[in-house]
A and B are shown apart, each in its own frame.
Chain A
Amino acid sequence: MAELNNKERMRIKRHKMPKQEPEQRIKNFNEVNSGYTEELAVAEANRCIQCKNSPCIAGCPVSINIPKFIKLISERKHKEAAAVIKIDNALPAVCGRVCPQEEQCEKVCVLAKRGEPVAIGNLERWAADWERKNIGLQIPNKKPSTGKRIAVVGAGPAGISCAGDLAQMGHKVTVFEALHSTGGVLIYGIPEFRLPKKIVNIEIEALAKMGVEFITNCVIGLTETVDELLERFDAVFIGVGAGLPYFMNIPGEHLNGVYSANEFLTRVNLMKAYTFPIADTPMFDVKNKVVAVFGGGNTAMDAVRTSLRLGAKRAMVIYRRTEAEMPARIEEIKHAKEEGVEFCLLAAPTEFIGNENGWLSSARLQKMKLGEADSSGRRRPVPIEGDVEDIAIQTAIIAIGNGSNPIIHNTTPDLNVNKWGNILVEKDSMKTNKKGVFAGGDIVTGGATVILAMGAGRTAAKSINNYLNNPDAW
């Protein structure tokens, strides 16, 4: 095919992601998006004009060379494209699926100014899936062994990306995980229909093949302390995630039928409660029930769409601001709407009401309006006096974020944390105040995204490498 000029490239419309139809997909847990075909991927890659400044690279938290891998896809060099991504990203098949591209690389794409940006996320997914399906995950080259040992605490996005980079640098890495499975939020939090567990497991297996050791069922702080790790390892990276769900502290929150999103999703995803009684873990039966999820982030969307798949009669998101302020990815909100999720906006619960057996029967909602902007720049919701409504619901799922887990800081008293318990680090190096200890991800930032945690893990890996080369320069 003759080389396209920029005008021709820009005339091509963005290619939609093929997916399961809503009426079909709400009956199963299979992935909603089925991924580009090769023709779609190449056609989409042809939209990239290889602009001079590559703003997309700066927009990516892990600085993937996006134009380069897209060009390789347009040349049908998919293996090479995957290799380019993997220089900077240990989990490309995961990130192609769960990154908020519209806030990052795609937001700054020059095509976005006049039309729709290149579908960078979809293309990243294509390259990673192509490699896995056609030639199996390729193990990146490792530098010769340095003899240095690093303990990574937490096998979630931050820990995995840190471990992957350190292993490539030739260090011996051991990852400690509290749960019985590795993957952190990718396994217990994000549902199968958005991120198949098999893909996570294969990407983690690739790290194991690179020599990363994974130890599950080990809670650092309790099974072993950070100080004990420092006796055996040259450096420690803490990436334990946020992991302490916020509740709203309103009356009735302890009624049966009220879950944190963490608990609901963990039961379904990690413990496979949706197969009960084949798996032993039970959950509330939401079949033919009304389920309300409180919150507006990706976790809220995951929970509400999961409840639909479990047979909820009505599933709704209740959020105190408007859709514009919702932190969820646009695609998740769109998918939720297509699937029939109801959005009840500008409403906040003030009380959960139960029946005589202690089970949830309704929620009292205070209607809100948007007031002045708050410190986050979003307009603050303020109650409309007297505008209160009771709605009948049988299950409530609270998805309003997570605080910091106290286990590490309770057991490592000399590690500096802020007033919310988040570990304090130097921004550019991820160094804590404790020599040899680095931290990153949600335990530092509070609840954020997979890719930001991975970015922090990478920054920490570089910084750990520098430290190991020159430990006196702490």
Chain B
Amino acid sequence: MNKILETRLLAPAIKLFKVEALKIAKKRKAGQFIILRVREDGERIPLTIADSNIEEGSITFIVQGVGKTTKQLNSLEAGDFISDIVGPLGRPSRIENFGTAVSIGGGVGAAIAYPTAKALKEAGNYVISIVGGRSKEFVILEDEMKATSDEFYPCTDDGTYGFHGFVTQKLQQLIDSGKKIDYVLAIGPIPMMEGVANVTKPYRIETSASLNTIMVDGTGMCGGCRVIVGGKTKFACVDGPEFDAHEVDFKILSNRNKMYLTQEQTSEDEHSCFLDKMYEKGKANG
């Protein structure tokens, strides 16, 4: 059982959690993740560690409530407990002094890009951060990103904040402006990461993507997280989650991530139904 120390709503349905987990806080490096189970009989879901604090013995992660488990998680508050947390899992991000490094986070991917951007900055890189969201309220971790970046570009699909357009367009603009870019890290929805890889490929800019796959154990045992990288089968949990974005087969990844769409719908319906019933019961009880 891990105690939740603090929560903060960052955007609609996007919530930050600071949770007690001393051993993980001591060990984790940028790019690594945890697997948690909200409750007994809950599913195991992977979440990237956004930050940690050794003095407090805490780790921070950010959750977008999209399915049953993430919604259940987002209904928890400080003082509540999470049934199980295990980690840090996966290989840490590649951190070197590349020169100029661009960190691109799409949506909740900004939470995952943040620790790596911070580590890249500490390694001596000139860090450019591009953070995308549907609209202004979905641009998260702006202050944190600004603090670790030499240049910071928020982008919104609807133009309500920063650059009007996709992060890929902003990246292209930077390249077109003659900026020398040595390394790009892309984290976010699959089409975005694929888009970034397509932008950087002609310029042969080294590009990594952090893949979010289906996982059960997260330690190599189930093979559910298998992805094709450079024509070879890799396990995101033990070989990744970060891979050479130019080598990743995004089509297969995208397809595999849709595997449980029908069941997720059932699960969520049951969950909403359960909430409705609780609500009705609450009303009946007065």
Contact = CB atoms under 8 A, between A and B. Distances in A.
A223 B270 contact: no
Contacts of A263: 216, 222-224
Contact of B221 (A243, A271, A276, A358): A243
A224 B23 contact: yes
A198 to B, nearest CB: 16
Contacts of A358: 252, 255, 258
B226 A406 contact: no
A223 B27 contact: yes
Given A180-B37, A223-B27, A405-B219, A280 B43 contact: yes
A180 to B, nearest CB: 4
Given A254-B256, A256-B259, A223 B216 contact: no
A243 B84 contact: no
A271 B89 contact: no
Nearest to B269: A277
Nearest to B86: A217
Q: Is the interface of B mostly helix, strand, loop or mixed?
A: mixed
B216 A267 contact: yes
Contact of A247 (B223, B255, B259, B267): B223
Contacts of A245: 221-223
A17 interface: no
A219 B219 contact: yes
Interface string A393-405: 0000000000001
B233 A247 contact: yes
A253 B234 CA distance: 12
Nearest to A247: B233
Nearest to B266: A277
A186 to B, nearest CB: 14
B238 interface: yes
Contact of A262 (B85, B223, B255): B223
Contacts, number: 125
B85 A406 contact: no
B37 A407 contact: no
B102 to A, nearest CB: 29
B4 to A, nearest CB: 16
Interface in A277-307: 277-285
A178 B222 contact: no
Is the interface on chain A under 10, 10 to 19, 20 to 34, or 35 or more residues? 35 or more
Contacts of B132: none
A277 B223 CA distance: 23
Given A216-B84, A262-B222, A405-B221, A222 B89 contact: yes
Interface in B197-222: 216-217, 219-222
A277 B267 contact: yes
A223 B88 contact: yes
Interface string B159-188: 000000000000000000000000000000
B42 interface: yes
A12 B68 CA distance: 59
B233 A253 contact: yes
Contacts of A179: 86, 217
B69 interface: yes
B216 A266 contact: yes
Nearest to A189: B221
B112 interface: no
A344 interface: no
A219 B258 contact: no
A260 interface: yes
Interface string B69-100: 10000000000000111111100000000000
Nearest to A255: B255
Interface in B233-257: 233, 235, 238, 252, 255-256
A180 B87 CA distance: 12
B248 to A, nearest CB: 12
Interface string A359-399: 00000000000000000000000000000000000000000
Contacts of A244: 220-221, 223, 235, 238
A55 to B, nearest CB: 37
Given A254-B228, A272-B41, A278-B41, A180 B255 contact: no
Nearest to A281: B43
Contacts of A276: 263, 266-267
B15 interface: no
B44 interface: yes
Contacts of A53: none
Interface in B134-149: none
Contact of A178 (B83, B86, B252): B86
Interface string A164-183: 00000000000000111000
A266 B43 CA distance: 12
Contacts of A277: 263, 266-267, 270
B84 A266 contact: no
Interface in B25-76: 27, 37, 41-44, 68-69
A284 B223 CA distance: 15
Nearest to A216: B84
B219 A280 contact: no
Contacts of B255: 254-256, 358
B217 A178 contact: yes
A272 to B, nearest CB: 6
B106 to A, nearest CB: 23
A218 interface: yes
A34 interface: no
Interface in B268-286: 270
Contact of B220 (A281, A282, A285, A406): A406
A256 to B, nearest CB: 5
B131 interface: no
B247 to A, nearest CB: 15
16 contacts: A219-B87, A219-B219, A222-B89, A224-B23, A224-B27, A253-B233, A254-B255, A256-B255, A260-B224, A262-B222, A263-B223, A272-B41, A277-B267, A279-B42, A282-B263, A358-B255
Given A178-B217, A217-B85, A219-B219, 10 more contacts: A178-B219, A180-B86, A223-B86, A253-B233, A254-B233, A256-B256, A278-B41, A279-B43, A280-B69, A282-B267
